[in-house]
A and B are shown apart, each in its own frame.
Chain A
Amino acid sequence: MGAATALLALAGCGSGGSAANGKYGFPEAEQETSSTITVWVDADRQAAAKAFQAANPDTKIKVVTYDGSANGSNSFRTKMQLFDRAGSGWPDVVFSSQNNDAAWASQKSGGKQAFAAVLDKGLVPKETLGDFTEGSLDPCTVDGRVYCLRNDLAQAVLWYNKPLLEKFGYALPTTWEEYQALGEKVAEEHPGYIVGTAGDAWTPEVYMWASKCQANDVTGPKSVTVNTASAECKRAASMLDTLRDKGTVPVVSVFTPEFLKKYSGKVLMMPGPAWYAGAIFHNPESLDVPAGQLGVAAPLTWKGENEAVTGNVGGGTWFVSSHSKNLKAAQKFVRFVTTADEYQVDAAPGYPAYAPAAEKWIAKQEASKYYATSLQPVVTAASRVWGGWGYPTFSQEAIWAKTITPGITGGKSIVDLLPTWQTAIENQAKVNGYVVK
């Protein structure tokens, strides 16, 4: 995977990691193998803790529920920094719903050792790490070292309504160019129907990332390359502009009452992350698409490119604290919740990052007879997440929401806003201590 090798090549610059003076590559606390470990989870991951307790009654865990840093609340980092200042109180294991945490948790801060334990220097067995889907540990990898385990993937695919597409007599697009042409056709022949949305903060992760737009190329622990003027950024931007003008890719967030009011039953297709299936389509509170209608297609290519790449919208991560007094239990816990069937296959809502679990999870989903097509495209997309879009400490979603969304609402086009976007990313990167190239 590109990013990993790039990071490996760059290993050695930056003095981010902690001093390698423990047997796993970080300074260890005094170990007490029978001590209780404290585990921080969000509401959705309480099931994971329950599954672990059922399977390992001898390991004592204390479960604390927090918001999982959702919606950019950043509470994980906030709390750990306060513990850093206090010099005690860190939980042993933390779940985060974000992908930006390894970027700071792997680094020393304010003279304090990095929060995250290095996992690939013996703490977690090599074969376990090797079984994760290709590229799925990228958000956890800083300077070639792995600092967290990925809970689930959020690869973008093309969701579509199969009977509706057949009724309209359209062919399924395989390139973005065909997708745009289809969007324009739908606007004329079936106004009111949509082929996507661009009103959420993760719009750049679905469209720009899949177009290999170099807006977020993290090249080292503290360096990022930003070039939103590239042809790759422009083609995706102008496609979104065209389809917004036509009304087939509206600037509406999928989690608003407005979206449900206007577009229930009107979604012909929608590029988006794997979790759209459960969160939007197959959700009585949202679009509530009946069984046998929802189909999925592999990520689209751009003309002249032989292999499609895709973007990724979130997907949780599990961290072990480097301050833990019971590393053995902590790593046992994170290994269980990311790899064991009892949680990842039987109870987890999202696509498992751990490949063997993912296979069984897909089989289980297909057996439910809800989907109108095979779910193989979701598996294909899992290892196609483009490595040129990185995971810095700051949030690209927040930048897009703050600069582009109001701009579009005010009548500007994304193509016109690309320079503004560039400046906003550079500014945000700099105040977060990044060197921008």
Chain B
Amino acid sequence: MTLAPSSDRATTDASEGRRSRRGVGSPARRAVARSPIGYLFVTPYALLTIAFGIVPSLYAVQLAFTDADGGFAGLENFTKVIDDFRFWPAVLHVTIYLVIWLLALVFFVVGLALMVHAVGVRWVSTTLRFVYYLPGALAGASSVLLWLFVLDPTASPVSGLLGAMGLDSFVQVIQPGHLPAIFAIIAFWTGAGGWIIIMYGALNNISTEVIEAARIDGANAVQIALRIQLPMLRKWVAYMGVMSLAAGTQLFVEPQLLSQASNAVVPNDYSLNQLAYQYAFQQNDFNGAAAISLILLVVALLLSWVFVTRGGLFEKE
């Protein structure tokens, strides 16, 4: 589920930054974009997006507004799913999870990136970045399986810590109230490393002249971080927000696997995406499932729009 961002982008950006500072690149790069080879590079991505992104979405739109026999249903599917007793709890679960997760991401990722960036010793900095990135190498499902052990006090390497919190059994650990935090921790653990590396690349992008000037004006490290580096990272934080939001609203793998591992103590209708799955495959109601997916899509788009506009994501520098 967690979109592990590729670190290539950050490094290219970083090197672009260095290149443009050397006065090379920009005009040449624009010329390349207009040549046919550019279209060739974009084509596979565009085709796959159409086949596996846009066409299914349109199919979902069609399903959401029709009934089981294919007749026009108006908003019936939407009212049905919103009236479902499981809908609002699922909305609440996903919201709490998103708030915890996004705040944690913004705080810790930016904080850790600034710290790693401030480390002067080269090998320490490289090692730290590698260590941060490591958990992200585990894909969603396998990382959850790993967490199943961590969360079970009888098998956990941190059982002492769980015991100190008064949690002696797996069922106590996965109480409904604990779940948003648990899912946020899992998602952070798997996803944050990649973002730290991206932020690190973004920090490399900030020209040394600016930092130098701030130092001469008497700014200390904290002031530089808060007044220079953070505002200049705004775009990247917004980018991280949009990507993580898109991934986070689709919470599915973690609760689904925990549900099976806990023999349904974690419900199989915990998140909106799971509810859509239940509609499609437990109730054989693909139209209701499509309606939930559309609601998710609209909400995610609205929130992304906020991030994009507030974060100045598409502004030219």
B-contacting residues of A (Cβ < 8 Å)? 71-74, 77-78, 81, 85, 104, 109-111, 199-201, 251-253, 255-258, 261, 393-395, 397-398, 401-402, 405-406, 409-410, 427, 431-433
Contacts and interface: CB of A to CB of B under 8 A. Distances in A.
A398 B264 contact: yes
A185 to B, nearest CB: 26
B283 A72 contact: no
A77 B277 CA distance: 12
B282 A401 contact: no
A402 B265 contact: yes
Interface centre among A104, A252, A409, A433, by most chain B C-beta atoms within 10 angstroms, is A409
A71 B263 CA distance: 6
B43 interface: no
A350 to B, nearest CB: 19
A201 B171 CA distance: 12
Nearest to A71: B260
Contact of A406 (B171, B268, B286): B171
B171 A251 contact: yes
Contacts of A72: 260, 263-264, 268
Contacts of B170: 256, 258
B172 to A, nearest CB: 6
Q: 5 closest pairs, A vs B, by CB?
A: A401-B264, A78-B281, A398-B264, A402-B267, A257-B154
A77 B69 CA distance: 20
Contact of B69 (A111, A199, A253, A431): A111
Given A261-B154, A405-B171, A77 B282 contact: yes
Contacts of A85: 286
Nearest to B288: A431
Contacts of B152: 256-258
Contacts of A431: 84-86, 283
B176 interface: yes
A257 B155 contact: yes
Contacts of B172: 409
B47 interface: no
Given A71-B264, A201-B263, A255-B263, 16 more contacts: A74-B281, A81-B280, A81-B281, A111-B68, A199-B171, A256-B152, A256-B170, A257-B155, A258-B153, A258-B154, A258-B170, A401-B262, A402-B264, A409-B172, A409-B175, A427-B85
A255 B86 CA distance: 29
A410 B85 CA distance: 22
Interface residues of B, number: 28
A431 B269 CA distance: 12
Contacts of B263: 71-72, 200-201, 253, 255, 397, 401
Contacts of B153: 258
Interface of B: 68-69, 84-86, 152-155, 169-172, 175-176, 260, 262-265, 267-268, 280-284, 286
Contacts of B284: 77, 81, 104, 109-110
Contacts of B68: 110-111
A64 B214 CA distance: 69
Contacts of B280: 81
Contacts of A78: 281
A252 B169 contact: yes
A72 B263 CA distance: 8
A72 B274 CA distance: 14
Contacts of A111: 68-69
B169 A74 contact: no
Contacts of B260: 71-73
17 contacts: A71-B264, A72-B260, A72-B268, A74-B281, A81-B281, A257-B154, A257-B155, A258-B152, A258-B153, A393-B282, A395-B264, A398-B264, A402-B265, A409-B169, A427-B85, A432-B282, A433-B283
Interface centre among A73, A257, A398, A427 (most CB of B within 10 A): A398
Nearest to A430: B85
Nearest to B279: A431
Contacts of A251: 171
A373 B169 CA distance: 35
B264 A201 contact: yes
Nearest to A109: B284
Contact of A394 (B155, B171, B282): B282
Contacts of A394: 282
A275 to B, nearest CB: 16
A77 B264 CA distance: 18
A238 to B, nearest CB: 22
Contacts of A398: 264, 267-268
A255 to B, nearest CB: 8
A73 B265 CA distance: 14
Contacts of A410: 175
